[in-house]
Amino acid sequence: MPAKDIYHDSVKKAIIKDGWTITHDPLKLKVGRKKVYIDLGAERLLCAEKGMQKIALEIKSFIGQSDVLDLEHALGQYVLYQKILAKQQPDRCLYLAVNETAFNGIFSDELGQMLLADETLRLLVFDEREEVIVQWIPQ
């Protein structure tokens, strides 16, 4: 099983504060003989008529030497996990969880904005000190 991201516990607490129930820590998926692990799985009741909303969160710190390399790695995982979830758990939405510093850095410049423009990439922006969710993109 892979090591937890440095912000794992902060995101977990933020999600719980936002009314989610953690269902998987980590969310294990298997394709053939290969296993992958998404950092968190969670769900919450929308209302009695609408049922459960389910998400998966891949948490990334963006503390490497290059935010572009960190982004490339995160996007690779995101695409892989999204494809697997689409087949195995199509009712679960995948989000990339990043802190405000990463969001205000690479995701606020042209490269990041290009990735967010078509809403293919979903972000959860969190404050690691306050352990709260700042923004869901798209909302």
* Greatest mean pLDDT among 50-54, 74-78, 116-120: 74-78
Burial classification of residue 132, based on how many CB atoms lie within 10 Å of its CB (0-12 exposed, 13-18 middle, 19 or more buried): middle
Q: Give the model's confidence band at 122: pLDDT under 50 very low, under 70 low, under 90 confident, else very high.
A: very high
What pLDDT score does 104 carry?
A: 96
- The whole model's pTM is what? 0.93
Residue 74's CB is within 10 A of a number of other CB atoms, namely: 22
pLDDT at position 2 is 72
Domains and CATH numbers, the chain: 22-137 (3.40.1350.10)
pLDDT tens figures, 22-55: 999 999 999 999 999 999 999 998 765 567 899 9
| CB burial string 89-126: b at 16+ within 10 A, e below | eeebebbbbbbbebbebbbeeeebeebbeeeebbbbbb
